[in-house]
Amino acid sequence: MAHLAILGGGPGGYVAAVRARQLGAEVTLVEMDALGGTCLNRGCIPSKALLRSSELAQLSRRLGEFGVRAEVKGIDWPRMIERKTEVVSQVVRGVEFLMKKNDVRVVHGRGRLSGPKTIVVETGDGEEEVRADAVLLATGSVPARLPLPGFDGPGVLTSTELLDIDEIPQRLAIVGAGYVGVEFADVFNAVGSKVTIIEMMPQIVPTEDPEIAAELARAFRRRRIEAHTNARVSEVSDRDGAKVVRFTRDGEEKEVEADVILCAVGRWPNTDGIGLQEAGIEMDGRAVKVNGRMATSVPGVYACGDAIGGIMLAHVASGEGKVAVANALGKQAEMDYTAIPSVTYTHPEIGSVGLTEADARQRGIDVRVGRFFFRGAGKAVAEGSREGLVKVIVDAASGKVIGGQICGPHATDLIHEIVLAVYLGATAEEVGGMVHAHPTLMEPIMEAAEDALGMAIHK
Protein backbone atom coordinates (compact mmCIF):
# COMPACT_ATOMS: atom_id res chain seq x y z
CA MET A 1 0.00 0.00 0.00
CA ALA A 2 1.41 3.39 -1.02
CA HIS A 3 1.92 5.90 1.79
CA LEU A 4 1.14 9.59 1.23
CA ALA A 5 2.23 12.24 3.73
CA ILE A 6 0.41 15.58 3.62
CA LEU A 7 1.76 18.75 5.21
CA GLY A 8 -1.20 21.00 6.03
CA GLY A 9 -4.78 20.16 7.00
CA GLY A 10 -6.72 22.92 5.25
CA PRO A 11 -9.16 22.53 2.33
CA GLY A 12 -6.34 21.32 0.10
CA GLY A 13 -4.79 18.90 2.58
CA TYR A 14 -7.77 17.29 4.29
CA VAL A 15 -9.71 16.83 1.04
CA ALA A 16 -6.62 15.25 -0.51
CA ALA A 17 -6.33 12.96 2.51
CA VAL A 18 -9.86 11.62 2.06
CA ARG A 19 -9.37 11.16 -1.69
CA ALA A 20 -6.10 9.31 -1.13
CA ARG A 21 -7.82 6.90 1.28
CA GLN A 22 -10.60 6.38 -1.27
CA LEU A 23 -7.89 5.39 -3.75
CA GLY A 24 -6.40 2.89 -1.32
CA ALA A 25 -3.38 4.75 0.07
CA GLU A 26 -2.17 4.97 3.64
CA VAL A 27 -2.26 8.63 4.71
CA THR A 28 -0.51 10.68 7.37
CA LEU A 29 -1.73 14.26 7.71
CA VAL A 30 0.45 16.78 9.56
CA GLU A 31 -1.23 19.92 10.91
CA MET A 32 0.22 22.39 13.43
CA ASP A 33 -3.15 23.97 14.30
CA ALA A 34 -6.82 22.98 14.16
CA LEU A 35 -7.89 20.95 11.15
CA GLY A 36 -9.53 22.96 8.40
CA GLY A 37 -6.75 25.51 7.98
CA THR A 38 -7.29 29.22 7.52
CA CYS A 39 -10.58 28.75 5.65
CA LEU A 40 -12.42 26.95 8.43
CA ASN A 41 -10.74 28.62 11.40
CA ARG A 42 -9.80 32.17 10.40
CA GLY A 43 -11.34 32.87 7.00
CA CYS A 44 -14.26 31.50 4.99
CA ILE A 45 -16.39 30.03 7.76
CA PRO A 46 -16.04 32.59 10.58
CA SER A 47 -16.44 35.52 8.20
CA LYS A 48 -19.59 33.97 6.72
CA ALA A 49 -21.01 33.51 10.22
CA LEU A 50 -20.49 37.23 10.89
CA LEU A 51 -21.86 38.13 7.47
CA ARG A 52 -25.03 36.22 8.25
CA SER A 53 -25.42 38.20 11.48
CA SER A 54 -24.79 41.45 9.62
CA GLU A 55 -27.33 40.49 6.96
CA LEU A 56 -29.97 40.04 9.65
CA ALA A 57 -28.97 43.37 11.18
CA GLN A 58 -29.50 45.07 7.84
CA LEU A 59 -32.80 43.29 7.24
CA SER A 60 -34.07 44.20 10.71
CA ARG A 61 -33.91 47.87 9.74
CA ARG A 62 -36.28 47.17 6.83
CA LEU A 63 -38.94 45.17 8.66
CA GLY A 64 -41.48 47.98 8.43
CA GLU A 65 -41.14 47.87 4.64
CA PHE A 66 -42.43 44.29 4.76
CA GLY A 67 -45.30 45.06 7.10
CA VAL A 68 -43.63 43.58 10.16
CA ARG A 69 -43.73 45.58 13.38
CA ALA A 70 -40.90 44.52 15.63
CA GLU A 71 -38.50 46.19 18.02
CA VAL A 72 -34.79 45.60 17.44
CA LYS A 73 -32.85 46.60 20.53
CA GLY A 74 -29.42 46.72 18.90
CA ILE A 75 -26.29 44.74 18.21
CA ASP A 76 -24.97 42.14 20.65
CA TRP A 77 -21.41 41.94 19.36
CA PRO A 78 -20.14 39.49 22.01
CA ARG A 79 -22.94 37.09 21.04
CA MET A 80 -22.08 37.48 17.35
CA ILE A 81 -18.48 36.53 18.13
CA GLU A 82 -19.64 33.68 20.34
CA ARG A 83 -21.88 32.30 17.60
CA LYS A 84 -19.05 32.63 15.09
CA THR A 85 -16.84 30.55 17.39
CA GLU A 86 -19.58 27.94 17.80
CA VAL A 87 -19.99 27.64 14.04
CA VAL A 88 -16.24 27.23 13.53
CA SER A 89 -16.02 24.57 16.25
CA GLN A 90 -18.87 22.61 14.68
CA VAL A 91 -17.31 22.64 11.21
CA VAL A 92 -13.86 21.71 12.55
CA ARG A 93 -15.38 18.78 14.44
CA GLY A 94 -16.88 17.69 11.13
CA VAL A 95 -13.43 17.57 9.55
CA GLU A 96 -12.04 15.68 12.53
CA PHE A 97 -14.85 13.16 12.09
CA LEU A 98 -13.98 12.77 8.40
CA MET A 99 -10.38 11.97 9.29
CA LYS A 100 -11.45 9.28 11.77
CA LYS A 101 -14.09 7.89 9.44
CA ASN A 102 -11.55 7.53 6.63
CA ASP A 103 -8.78 6.23 8.91
CA VAL A 104 -6.43 9.13 8.21
CA ARG A 105 -3.62 9.33 10.75
CA VAL A 106 -3.34 12.92 12.00
CA VAL A 107 -0.12 14.19 13.58
CA HIS A 108 -0.38 17.55 15.31
CA GLY A 109 2.76 19.66 15.22
CA ARG A 110 4.93 21.89 13.06
CA GLY A 111 6.25 19.94 10.09
CA ARG A 112 9.14 20.53 7.72
CA LEU A 113 10.77 18.56 4.95
CA SER A 114 14.04 16.91 5.94
CA GLY A 115 14.30 15.22 2.56
CA PRO A 116 12.18 14.83 -0.58
CA LYS A 117 9.87 12.24 1.00
CA THR A 118 10.39 12.78 4.71
CA ILE A 119 8.64 15.18 7.07
CA VAL A 120 9.98 15.90 10.55
CA VAL A 121 7.23 17.01 12.93
CA GLU A 122 7.87 18.94 16.14
CA THR A 123 5.17 17.66 18.45
CA GLY A 124 4.55 18.33 22.11
CA ASP A 125 6.45 15.13 22.89
CA GLY A 126 9.53 15.84 20.76
CA GLU A 127 10.16 15.07 17.11
CA GLU A 128 8.52 12.47 14.89
CA GLU A 129 9.78 11.48 11.46
CA VAL A 130 7.20 10.64 8.80
CA ARG A 131 8.54 8.77 5.77
CA ALA A 132 6.31 8.28 2.75
CA ASP A 133 6.24 7.25 -0.90
CA ALA A 134 4.97 10.70 -1.86
CA VAL A 135 4.48 14.06 -0.14
CA LEU A 136 1.83 16.72 -0.71
CA LEU A 137 2.56 20.27 0.43
CA ALA A 138 -0.66 22.08 1.38
CA THR A 139 0.55 24.71 3.82
CA GLY A 140 -1.84 27.49 2.79
CA SER A 141 -1.16 31.21 3.14
CA VAL A 142 -0.82 34.06 5.62
CA PRO A 143 -2.14 37.64 5.46
CA ALA A 144 0.15 39.97 3.51
CA ARG A 145 1.57 43.03 5.23
CA LEU A 146 2.41 46.37 3.66
CA PRO A 147 6.06 47.35 4.21
CA LEU A 148 5.09 50.92 5.04
CA PRO A 149 5.61 53.07 8.14
CA GLY A 150 3.12 52.33 10.90
CA PHE A 151 1.62 49.15 9.45
CA ASP A 152 3.34 47.00 12.06
CA GLY A 153 1.97 49.02 14.99
CA PRO A 154 -0.96 48.48 17.34
CA GLY A 155 -4.42 49.08 15.95
CA VAL A 156 -3.44 47.84 12.48
CA LEU A 157 -5.00 44.40 12.17
CA THR A 158 -5.17 41.57 9.68
CA SER A 159 -8.39 39.69 9.01
CA THR A 160 -7.34 37.11 11.60
CA GLU A 161 -7.27 39.63 14.45
CA LEU A 162 -10.37 41.51 13.29
CA LEU A 163 -12.43 38.32 13.51
CA ASP A 164 -11.94 38.31 17.29
CA ILE A 165 -11.99 42.04 18.06
CA ASP A 166 -13.62 42.73 21.45
CA GLU A 167 -15.59 45.85 20.53
CA ILE A 168 -17.14 47.32 17.41
CA PRO A 169 -14.89 50.19 16.30
CA GLN A 170 -16.66 53.48 15.76
CA ARG A 171 -14.44 54.11 12.73
CA LEU A 172 -12.86 51.38 10.62
CA ALA A 173 -10.46 52.08 7.76
CA ILE A 174 -9.83 49.20 5.36
CA VAL A 175 -6.75 49.22 3.14
CA GLY A 176 -7.50 46.97 0.20
CA ALA A 177 -10.85 46.33 -1.49
CA GLY A 178 -10.54 42.73 -2.60
CA TYR A 179 -13.05 40.19 -1.37
CA VAL A 180 -11.65 40.22 2.19
CA GLY A 181 -11.79 44.00 2.44
CA VAL A 182 -15.29 44.44 1.06
CA GLU A 183 -16.74 41.59 3.12
CA PHE A 184 -15.45 43.13 6.34
CA ALA A 185 -16.70 46.52 5.16
CA ASP A 186 -20.13 44.93 4.82
CA VAL A 187 -20.03 43.38 8.29
CA PHE A 188 -18.86 46.42 10.22
CA ASN A 189 -21.08 48.89 8.37
CA ALA A 190 -24.08 46.74 9.27
CA VAL A 191 -23.18 46.74 12.98
CA GLY A 192 -22.64 50.50 13.14
CA SER A 193 -19.05 51.34 12.26
CA LYS A 194 -18.21 54.23 9.97
CA VAL A 195 -16.31 52.36 7.27
CA THR A 196 -13.81 53.85 4.83
CA ILE A 197 -12.16 51.77 2.10
CA ILE A 198 -8.84 52.74 0.49
CA GLU A 199 -7.93 50.89 -2.72
CA MET A 200 -5.01 51.57 -5.08
CA MET A 201 -6.80 50.20 -8.17
CA PRO A 202 -9.48 52.13 -10.14
CA GLN A 203 -12.37 50.13 -8.65
CA ILE A 204 -13.29 48.13 -5.58
CA VAL A 205 -13.13 44.34 -6.11
CA PRO A 206 -10.44 45.01 -8.73
CA THR A 207 -10.51 41.55 -10.34
CA GLU A 208 -14.22 41.76 -11.13
CA ASP A 209 -15.93 43.02 -14.28
CA PRO A 210 -16.26 46.84 -14.07
CA GLU A 211 -20.08 46.74 -14.35
CA ILE A 212 -20.27 44.27 -11.48
CA ALA A 213 -17.87 46.33 -9.36
CA ALA A 214 -19.91 49.45 -10.09
CA GLU A 215 -23.09 47.74 -8.86
CA LEU A 216 -21.45 46.89 -5.54
CA ALA A 217 -19.97 50.39 -5.29
CA ARG A 218 -23.44 51.91 -5.72
CA ALA A 219 -24.85 49.63 -3.04
CA PHE A 220 -22.03 50.62 -0.69
CA ARG A 221 -22.61 54.33 -1.33
CA ARG A 222 -26.28 53.91 -0.43
CA ARG A 223 -25.12 52.42 2.86
CA ARG A 224 -22.67 55.30 3.38
CA ILE A 225 -19.57 53.14 3.01
CA GLU A 226 -16.95 55.55 1.70
CA ALA A 227 -14.50 54.23 -0.89
CA HIS A 228 -11.35 55.94 -2.19
CA THR A 229 -10.07 54.24 -5.35
CA ASN A 230 -6.88 55.10 -7.28
CA ALA A 231 -5.47 55.77 -3.82
CA ARG A 232 -1.90 54.94 -2.85
CA VAL A 233 -1.29 54.63 0.89
CA SER A 234 1.98 56.06 2.24
CA GLU A 235 1.85 55.55 6.02
CA VAL A 236 -0.11 55.05 9.20
CA SER A 237 0.46 57.34 12.17
CA ASP A 238 -1.15 58.23 15.51
CA ARG A 239 -3.00 61.39 16.44
CA ASP A 240 -4.83 62.05 19.72
CA GLY A 241 -5.54 58.38 20.32
CA ALA A 242 -6.67 57.70 16.74
CA LYS A 243 -4.95 56.03 13.81
CA VAL A 244 -4.40 58.10 10.68
CA VAL A 245 -4.02 56.59 7.21
CA ARG A 246 -2.33 58.90 4.73
CA PHE A 247 -2.67 58.35 1.00
CA THR A 248 -2.39 60.08 -2.34
CA ARG A 249 -5.31 60.28 -4.77
CA ASP A 250 -5.19 62.14 -8.08
CA GLY A 251 -2.01 63.87 -6.96
CA GLU A 252 -3.64 65.16 -3.78
CA GLU A 253 -2.56 64.18 -0.27
CA LYS A 254 -5.45 62.88 1.84
CA GLU A 255 -5.94 61.21 5.19
CA VAL A 256 -8.55 59.17 7.06
CA GLU A 257 -8.86 58.90 10.82
CA ALA A 258 -9.95 55.59 12.32
CA ASP A 259 -10.00 53.68 15.57
CA VAL A 260 -8.94 50.45 13.87
CA ILE A 261 -7.28 49.76 10.52
CA LEU A 262 -7.70 46.52 8.59
CA CYS A 263 -4.83 45.65 6.26
CA ALA A 264 -6.52 43.55 3.55
CA VAL A 265 -3.98 43.64 0.73
CA GLY A 266 -3.99 39.94 -0.08
CA ARG A 267 -2.24 36.82 1.17
CA TRP A 268 1.22 35.29 0.82
CA PRO A 269 1.99 31.59 0.35
CA ASN A 270 2.93 30.08 3.71
CA THR A 271 6.20 28.51 2.62
CA ASP A 272 8.83 29.83 5.03
CA GLY A 273 10.58 27.38 7.33
CA ILE A 274 9.23 24.13 5.87
CA GLY A 275 12.45 22.89 4.29
CA LEU A 276 11.73 23.66 0.65
CA GLN A 277 15.18 25.00 -0.18
CA GLU A 278 16.88 22.11 1.63
CA ALA A 279 14.80 19.63 -0.37
CA GLY A 280 15.75 21.38 -3.63
CA ILE A 281 12.20 22.36 -4.56
CA GLU A 282 12.01 25.08 -7.19
CA MET A 283 10.13 28.21 -6.18
CA ASP A 284 8.31 30.99 -7.98
CA GLY A 285 8.91 33.83 -5.56
CA ARG A 286 7.17 32.85 -2.32
CA ALA A 287 5.14 30.15 -4.10
CA VAL A 288 6.00 26.52 -4.75
CA LYS A 289 6.38 26.01 -8.49
CA VAL A 290 4.23 23.20 -9.93
CA ASN A 291 3.05 21.94 -13.30
CA GLY A 292 -0.53 21.15 -14.30
CA ARG A 293 -0.29 17.81 -12.50
CA MET A 294 0.57 19.64 -9.25
CA ALA A 295 4.06 18.11 -9.34
CA THR A 296 7.02 20.09 -8.04
CA SER A 297 10.55 19.99 -9.44
CA VAL A 298 11.37 17.10 -7.07
CA PRO A 299 9.94 13.69 -8.05
CA GLY A 300 7.35 12.42 -5.60
CA VAL A 301 6.65 15.84 -4.10
CA TYR A 302 3.41 17.61 -5.00
CA ALA A 303 1.83 20.89 -3.87
CA CYS A 304 -1.61 22.50 -3.95
CA GLY A 305 -3.64 25.44 -2.72
CA ASP A 306 -2.39 28.82 -1.58
CA ALA A 307 1.14 27.45 -1.20
CA ILE A 308 1.45 27.46 -5.01
CA GLY A 309 -0.05 30.94 -5.46
CA GLY A 310 -2.34 31.28 -8.45
CA ILE A 311 -6.05 31.32 -7.65
CA MET A 312 -5.94 31.40 -3.86
CA LEU A 313 -9.42 30.09 -3.02
CA ALA A 314 -10.40 27.19 -0.77
CA HIS A 315 -12.35 25.30 -3.44
CA VAL A 316 -9.44 25.63 -5.86
CA ALA A 317 -7.12 24.14 -3.23
CA SER A 318 -9.48 21.18 -2.86
CA GLY A 319 -9.57 20.62 -6.62
CA GLU A 320 -5.79 20.86 -6.88
CA GLY A 321 -5.41 18.46 -3.96
CA LYS A 322 -7.51 15.83 -5.72
CA VAL A 323 -5.42 16.21 -8.89
CA ALA A 324 -2.18 15.95 -6.90
CA VAL A 325 -3.33 12.78 -5.15
CA ALA A 326 -4.37 11.12 -8.38
CA ASN A 327 -0.94 11.70 -9.88
CA ALA A 328 0.92 10.79 -6.69
CA LEU A 329 -0.86 7.41 -6.72
CA GLY A 330 -0.07 6.58 -10.33
CA LYS A 331 -3.10 7.92 -12.13
CA GLN A 332 -3.17 10.68 -14.74
CA ALA A 333 -4.89 13.97 -13.98
CA GLU A 334 -4.41 17.65 -14.80
CA MET A 335 -5.99 20.68 -13.18
CA ASP A 336 -8.56 22.49 -15.32
CA TYR A 337 -9.01 26.15 -14.38
CA THR A 338 -11.53 26.94 -17.14
CA ALA A 339 -14.65 27.02 -14.98
CA ILE A 340 -13.50 28.14 -11.52
CA PRO A 341 -16.15 30.16 -9.67
CA SER A 342 -15.09 33.21 -7.68
CA VAL A 343 -17.51 34.44 -5.01
CA THR A 344 -17.79 37.46 -2.71
CA TYR A 345 -20.27 37.46 0.16
CA THR A 346 -21.22 41.11 0.35
CA HIS A 347 -24.80 42.37 0.16
CA PRO A 348 -25.43 42.21 -2.75
CA GLU A 349 -23.27 39.16 -3.42
CA ILE A 350 -20.92 38.65 -6.38
CA GLY A 351 -20.27 35.49 -8.37
CA SER A 352 -18.02 35.17 -11.42
CA VAL A 353 -16.72 32.44 -13.70
CA GLY A 354 -14.72 32.19 -16.90
CA LEU A 355 -13.88 35.22 -19.04
CA THR A 356 -15.12 38.74 -18.48
CA GLU A 357 -16.15 40.83 -21.45
CA ALA A 358 -12.82 42.69 -21.33
CA ASP A 359 -10.81 39.45 -21.01
CA ALA A 360 -12.50 37.97 -24.06
CA ARG A 361 -12.00 41.05 -26.21
CA GLN A 362 -8.33 41.28 -25.19
CA ARG A 363 -7.93 37.72 -26.45
CA GLY A 364 -9.46 38.72 -29.76
CA ILE A 365 -12.68 36.79 -29.22
CA ASP A 366 -15.76 38.27 -30.84
CA VAL A 367 -18.37 38.14 -28.10
CA ARG A 368 -22.05 38.73 -27.54
CA VAL A 369 -22.94 40.02 -24.09
CA GLY A 370 -26.28 39.38 -22.46
CA ARG A 371 -27.48 41.41 -19.48
CA PHE A 372 -30.50 41.20 -17.25
CA PHE A 373 -31.16 43.28 -14.15
CA PHE A 374 -32.75 41.78 -11.04
CA ARG A 375 -35.25 44.60 -10.92
CA GLY A 376 -36.91 42.89 -13.89
CA ALA A 377 -37.38 39.61 -12.01
CA GLY A 378 -40.62 39.15 -10.07
CA LYS A 379 -39.02 37.06 -7.30
CA ALA A 380 -36.33 39.68 -6.67
CA VAL A 381 -38.93 42.45 -6.49
CA ALA A 382 -41.12 40.41 -4.15
CA GLU A 383 -38.15 39.74 -1.84
CA GLY A 384 -37.06 43.37 -1.86
CA SER A 385 -33.72 42.43 -3.46
CA ARG A 386 -33.73 44.43 -6.68
CA GLU A 387 -30.06 45.42 -6.79
CA GLY A 388 -27.68 44.04 -9.40
CA LEU A 389 -27.55 42.20 -12.68
CA VAL A 390 -26.47 39.06 -14.52
CA LYS A 391 -23.97 39.20 -17.39
CA VAL A 392 -23.41 36.28 -19.74
CA ILE A 393 -20.42 36.29 -22.10
CA VAL A 394 -20.92 34.29 -25.29
CA ASP A 395 -18.44 33.39 -28.04
CA ALA A 396 -20.14 34.81 -31.13
CA ALA A 397 -18.60 32.19 -33.42
CA SER A 398 -19.56 29.06 -31.48
CA GLY A 399 -22.46 30.39 -29.46
CA LYS A 400 -20.90 28.87 -26.31
CA VAL A 401 -21.06 30.53 -22.93
CA ILE A 402 -17.46 31.35 -21.99
CA GLY A 403 -18.06 33.43 -18.89
CA GLY A 404 -20.54 35.09 -16.64
CA GLN A 405 -20.81 37.51 -13.75
CA ILE A 406 -23.57 38.16 -11.25
CA CYS A 407 -24.04 40.91 -8.69
CA GLY A 408 -27.24 40.44 -6.76
CA PRO A 409 -29.16 38.30 -4.28
CA HIS A 410 -27.70 34.82 -3.78
CA ALA A 411 -25.17 35.41 -6.55
CA THR A 412 -22.70 33.04 -4.88
CA ASP A 413 -25.22 30.22 -5.39
CA LEU A 414 -26.70 31.32 -8.71
CA ILE A 415 -23.31 31.51 -10.43
CA HIS A 416 -23.11 27.73 -10.54
CA GLU A 417 -25.59 27.48 -13.41
CA ILE A 418 -23.18 29.54 -15.48
CA VAL A 419 -20.23 27.51 -14.11
CA LEU A 420 -21.92 24.36 -15.40
CA ALA A 421 -22.57 25.99 -18.77
CA VAL A 422 -18.90 27.00 -19.12
CA TYR A 423 -17.68 23.62 -17.89
CA LEU A 424 -19.86 21.61 -20.27
CA GLY A 425 -19.51 23.98 -23.22
CA ALA A 426 -23.22 24.82 -23.32
CA THR A 427 -24.47 27.44 -25.75
CA ALA A 428 -26.48 30.54 -24.90
CA GLU A 429 -29.34 29.02 -26.86
CA GLU A 430 -29.26 25.94 -24.64
CA VAL A 431 -29.12 27.95 -21.40
CA GLY A 432 -31.84 30.31 -22.56
CA GLY A 433 -33.93 27.49 -23.98
CA MET A 434 -33.98 25.51 -20.73
CA VAL A 435 -37.27 26.19 -18.94
CA HIS A 436 -36.62 27.91 -15.60
CA ALA A 437 -39.17 27.85 -12.79
CA HIS A 438 -41.14 31.03 -12.16
CA PRO A 439 -40.82 33.03 -10.03
CA THR A 440 -37.19 32.33 -9.12
CA LEU A 441 -33.89 34.18 -8.96
CA MET A 442 -32.59 31.80 -11.64
CA GLU A 443 -34.72 33.41 -14.33
CA PRO A 444 -32.34 36.38 -14.83
CA ILE A 445 -29.70 33.87 -16.01
CA MET A 446 -32.09 32.56 -18.64
CA GLU A 447 -33.01 36.10 -19.64
CA ALA A 448 -29.35 37.16 -19.86
CA ALA A 449 -28.56 34.18 -22.08
CA GLU A 450 -31.51 35.05 -24.31
CA ASP A 451 -30.45 38.70 -24.30
CA ALA A 452 -27.10 37.68 -25.78
CA LEU A 453 -29.16 36.33 -28.68
CA GLY A 454 -31.36 39.43 -28.81
CA MET A 455 -34.33 37.42 -27.54
CA ALA A 456 -34.89 38.41 -23.90
CA ILE A 457 -38.59 38.57 -23.00
CA HIS A 458 -38.72 40.78 -19.92
CA LYS A 459 -36.03 43.32 -20.80
- Residues 281-335: tens digit of each pLDDT: 999 999 999 999 999 999 999 999 999 999 999 999 999 999 999 999 999 999 9
- Say what the pLDDT of residue 455 is: 96
pLDDT of 190 above 90: yes
Residue 398: other Cβ atoms inside 10 A = 12
Contact 346, 184 (CB under 8 A): no
pLDDT computed for residue 116 by the predictor = 87
pLDDT digits (tens, 9 = 90+) for 383-413: 999 999 999 999 999 999 999 999 999 999 9
Q: Answer yes or no: are the C-beta atoms of 109 and 32 closer than 8 Å.
A: yes
One-letter amino acid of 292: G
**What is the Cα–Cα distance from 196 to 172, expressed in whole angstroms?**
6
Measured distance CA(359)–CA(437) in Å, rounded: 32
pLDDT band at 72 (very low <50, low <70, confident <90, very high): confident
Q: Is the pLDDT of residue 1 over 90?
A: no
Reference 327, options 151, 134, 168; nearest CA is: 134
Outline which parts of the chain fall under CATH 3.30.390.30: 342-452
User: Are 443 and 390 in contact, with CB atoms under 8 Å apart?
Assistant: no
Looking at residue 164, its pLDDT comes to 94
State how far Cα 302 lies from the chain centre: 23
- Could you tell me the pLDDT band of residue 206, with boundaries at 50, 70 and 90? very high
Q: Is 108 tagged catalytic?
A: no
Mean pLDDT of the chain, nearest integer: 96
What is the pLDDT at residue 124? 84
Provide the pLDDT confidence category of residue 3 given band limits of 50, 70 and 90.
Answer: very high
What pLDDT was estimated at residue 115?
87
Task: CATH 3.50.50.60 in the chain: give the residue spans.
Answer: 3-143+268-328, 156-265
CA torsion, ordered 143, 148, 152, 156, to nearest 10 deg: -70
pLDDT confidence of residue 289:
98
Residue 347: its pLDDT value, please?
95
CB atoms within 10 A of CB 396: 14
Q: Provide mean pLDDT across the span 410-437.
A: 98
The length of the chain is 459
Q: Say what the pTM is.
A: 0.95
Please confirm whether the linkage preceding 269 is cis (ω < 30° from 0): no
Q: Is pLDDT at 125 greater than 90 in this prediction?
A: no
> Which of 108, 436, 438, 458 is flagged as catalytic?
438
* pLDDT score of 161: 96
Is the distance from CB of 183 to CB of 47 less than 8 angstroms?
yes
Domain 156-265 sits in CATH at 3.50.50.60
Residue 160 has pLDDT above 90, yes or no: yes
Q: What dotted CATH number matches 342-452?
A: 3.30.390.30
Percent of the chain with pLDDT over 70: 100
pLDDT category of residue 84 using cuts at 50, 70 and 90: very high
Instruction: Kindly report the CATH class assigned to 3-143+268-328.
Output: alpha beta
SS (H, E, C) the chain: CCEEEEECCCCCHHHHHHHHHHCCCEEEEEECCCCCHHHHHHCHHHHHHHHHHHHHHHHHCCHHHHCCCCCCCCCCHHHHHHHHHHHHHHHHHHHHHHHHHCCCEEEECEEEEEECCEEEEEECCEEEEEECCEEEECCCEEECCCCCCCCCCCCEECHHHHCCCCCCCCEEEEECCCHHHHHHHHHHHHCCCEEEEECCCCCCCCCCCHHHHHHHHHHHHHCCCEEECCEEEEEEEEECCEEEEEEEECCEEEEEEECEEEECCCEEECCCCCCCCCCCCCEECCEECCCCCCECCCCCEEECHHHHCCCCCHHHHHHHHHHHHHHHCCCCCCCCCCCCCEEECCCCEEEEEECCHHHHHHCCCCEEEEEEEHHHCHHHHHHCCCCCEEEEEEECCCCEEEEEEEEECCHHHHHHHHHHHHHHCCEHHHHHHCCCCCCCCCHHHHHHHHHHCCCCCCC
* Prior bond of 348 cis (ω within 30°): yes
